[in-house]
Structure 1
Amino acid sequence: MSRSDVDVVVVGGGGVGSAAAWQLARRGRSVVLLEQFAAGHTRGASHGASRIFRLSYPDRVYIDLAREARELWRELENTTGTALLTVTGGVDHGDDPQLDVLAAGLGAAGVPHSWLTPDEAAERWPGIRFDTRALFHPDSGRLHADRSVRALQSAAASAGALVRHETPVTSIEVLGDDTVLVHTDTGSYRARRVVAAVNAWANALVGALVPLPPLRVTQEQPAHFRARLPEDTWPSFGHRVGGAYGGTYGLATPGEGIKVGFHGVGPEVDPDHRDYAPEPAQLAALREYARTWVPGVDPDTFTPISCTYTTTPDADFVLDRVGPVVVATGFSGHGFKFLPALGRVLADLALDGTRPDRRFAAHPGGSPRTATGASSEAPAEPRQPVVGL
């Protein structure tokens, strides 16, 4: 069995791992990116044609991370000659006091936003039903997911990274604070650092090396509905509703219709043993939601979508390092927009140990995360539940 020596091995060729490989390689490090499946696979959380981009968080940490990501997305577009980010504007609505918290956070961070009456919102976006005031944020839009991952890998390769698909990592062996062996069926890599950006597979690969919080892996089941109105007139949107399915989100997917989904309520799954089939009751509820709240789509003409979410109890990401092992997981539901900035954070962790906000630690404050916020021994900041991709 062969062995190669590199500075950093990145495990996981989805969006986060690809972003980390780009950021590491552009700093002049020798990098290999290992992905277990073929290019363009649909087994994880980074595939498809559309993800929401937004600055609309009540939390300054996430707003600043999204701002950084926006600049890096534009740089990536220029570097690769690929159109990735389309600004469409975004709108949140619903009878939820958390919208006031969101508006306050946007105002404190200087993010453009405005309130619209139901009639004003309906006139602007007749494809969506509004029965309460709506919060408009003009800088929101959509990212093309498949093109984004390809562009990140292309930029990484151009900067010198070796990108290898269909190369599953069988184990990671820590030999010291600055030495790790990453084993595959065809050889091993000796590196100073490994970045494990495997999301749903984090427990299996690095759970024995890093004290991860509980990770919930679910199979989410949005759908593309046929648009009755031109796709280029739609904003990204979030709707905060009560009931079993909580919040919903939506956006146009040009050529495929309007993507509408419930947020984070799919059945728990093993990522290696999924059926990819929509759960009938949830699909029926989604179609009824579209019929009631999204009059601009045909609820009877649709294509189901399947993807995984990997979430922590507090919905914050895990961006941490123990010895030579850097781990990145818990992004699903709202992580895609941040990809190039997350790559920068992971490169910092790998190369000089610079840590981001402590909420992203695997166990902030040395204690397990709780569903209310950062850790069981420190009070959590009040943060709005995240709705939408």
Structure 2
Amino acid sequence: MTGHDTAEVVIVGGGLEGCAAAWALAERGTTDVVIVERSTVGSGGTGKSSGVVRCHYGVASLAAMATRALEVFENARDVLGEDVGFHQTGYVVGVGEQNAGALAASMADQRAVGVRTEDIDASEVAKLWPSADLEPFAAFAWEERGGYGDAYQTAQAFAGAARRAGVRLRQGTTVTDLITRSGAVTGVRLADGSEIHTGTVVLTAGPWSVPLLAKHGITLPITVHREQIVLIDPGEALGPVPVFSDLVSLQYVRPESGGEILFGNSDLAELEPADPDRYSNQATPSFLDLAVEKVGTRFPGLEDAAIASTYAGCYDVTPDFNPAISETDIEGLIVAAGFSGHGFKIAPSVGRLVADLVLDGTSSDPDIPASDFRLSRFAEGDLLRSPHPYVGAGEMR
């Protein structure tokens, strides 16, 4: 292709967040938008998401984002025009004695921004997960509306809704640089040498956002972390079990629609740096050992459980394990990256915050202040952290 295109807004990256941003802009009447994706929609980190849906966050603005997003998942057919694979199984989180106070305080903050979460007794959890050993837990929280979904399917649904509204999607198209003049963005340059001229660029390219910003003197502090996932055949029909976040042994499990259990490790104290373009898509033998040990310890009732398969994806992790959804020092350039594993469950709200920043320069939701997610907080040393951190699992909350 030669020549130059124009658009009111260019979104770089056709993953879940970029497609959600396009949908949210269209929802507000801005449809002269083009999504530029180097491969296909959802082909990056989106397709590897474990898809847990929860509103349990110690950071109130994140809890608010999650509960607003939940309304979109629950009403996807009406809002997006198609199913997004959301299974409302419920979500339970359990903590040991040292974290019981933090759990109660966090739940109070969550309720203040509209999260429906409640205390639940161990006897009730035992009915939900009869194969679990609950002895080490001191307290539990229960979200009846939680569950899991399909991030790839959700990205496709956002893209479809945006396109029906008039947004353009260019797949197989790589952005190689941002074009600026006098401190403002004026477009993007593509691999074939052509340009798209625009006054607003939204950068939602995950870890691939980093080099595009670095060329223009903007530091986005992201570590790419390889996140390993193990699928387990429980050896028996489990029935309708909820997502279980175990903050004693630092693991989470959720059912798969085919009857398997998905296992993830919640201990992110040590990251496993990776190249997002070249990383092993299989769990390591040591991680398999860890999965067997953790699942076997917590679910001793699953006597015939066996490993079914494994895969790996990448998190784009910031210093505080929370995203930058922010204007930058370049006028008209907005970044939404560094989701650190939280991106799926808050995606509809991310899209709406991006649309607010593009159209209004600030957030429209008082429970989700734009300042919480400003990129400059990293340089300022003013990190976004929970006031009620869980000992041993602070990164996850």
Give your verdict on TM over 0.5: yes
Partners of 1:24 and 1:176 in 2: how far apart?
Answer: 26
The structural deviation recorded for 1:48 is 4.7
The whole-number CA distance in structure 1 between the counterparts of 2:100 and 2:18 is 33
Aligned position for 2:197: 190
Aligned to 2:18: 17
Q: CA deviation at 1:53?
A: 0.9
* Aligned equivalent of 1:129: 133
Match of 2:258 among 252, 255, 258: 255
Structure 1 residue 177, shift from structure 2 partner: 5.5
- The offset of 1:369, in angstroms, is 5.1
> Is the alpha carbon distance of 1:382 and 1:83 closer, same or farther for their aligned partners in structure 2, counting shifts above 3 Å?
closer
**AA of the residue aligned to 2:377:** P
Q: Do residues 346 (structure 1) and 348 (structure 2) align? A: no
Task: Name structure 2 gaps, 5 residues minimum.
Answer: 364-368
The one-letter code sitting in structure 2 at the alignment partner of 1:343 is G
Query: Structure 2 vs 1, CA of residues 166 and 93 (structure 1 numbering), >3 Å: closer, same or farther?
Result: same
Q: Which residue matches 1:209?
A: 216
Amino acid in the other structure paired with 1:250: V
Deviations along 1:148-202, whole A, 9 cap, x unmatched?
1110110111111111221111111112465422111232100111111011112
- SS of the residue corresponding to residue 221 of structure 1 reads strand
Report Cα offsets for 1:185-233 as digits up to 9, x if no partner: 2321001111110111121121343643521111110111113344551
Checking the alignment, whether the CA contact within 8 Å between 1:60 and 1:109 is kept in structure 2 is yes
Select which of 263, 283, 295 maps to 1:290.
Answer: 295
Question: By percentage of residues, which structure has more strand?
Answer: 1
Q: Which moved more, 1:4-13 or 1:118-127?
A: 118-127
For 2:25 and 2:83, how far apart are their aligned partners in 1? 21
Measured in 1, the distance between the counterparts of 2:295 and 2:379 equals 44
> Are positions 1:158 and 2:164 aligned together?
yes
Residue type of the alignment partner of 1:64: A
Mapping 1:46-85, distance limit 5 Å: 46-48=46-48, 50-78=50-78, 79-85=80-86
What is the CA–CA distance in structure 1 between the aligned matches of 2:339 and 2:183, rounded to whole Å?
A: 27
Q: Does 1:279 align with 2:280?
A: no
Of residues 342-351 and 67-76 in structure 1, the stretch that sits farther from structure 2 once superposed is 67-76
Report the Cα offset of residue 19 of structure 1.
Answer: 0.3
Deviates more, 1:128-137 or 1:184-193: 128-137
1:81-128 alpha-carbon deviations (Å, 9 max, x no partner): 314332211111131533432332323443444444444422331133
Does the 8 Å CA contact 1:55/1:139 hold for their aligned counterparts?
no
Match of 2:174 in 1: 168
What are the superposed Cα offsets for residues 117-148 of structure 1, whole Å, 9 maximum, x if unpaired?
A: 44442233113321223322222111122211
Q: Given residue 26 of structure 2, which amino acid in structure 1 is its aligned partner?
A: A
Q: What is the Cα deviation at residue 329 of structure 1?
A: 1.0
Q: Residue 306 of structure 1 aligns with which residue?
A: 312
Distance 2:102 2:158 in 1: 34
Q: Does 1:236 align with 2:243?
A: yes
> How many residues of Structure 1 are paired with residues of Structure 2 in the alignment?
375
Instruction: Give the Cα separation in 1 of the matches to 2:187 and 2:50.
Output: 36
1:77/1:102 Cα in 2 relative to 1: closer, same or farther (>3 Å)? Answer: farther
How far apart are residue 318 of structure 1 and its match? 0.4
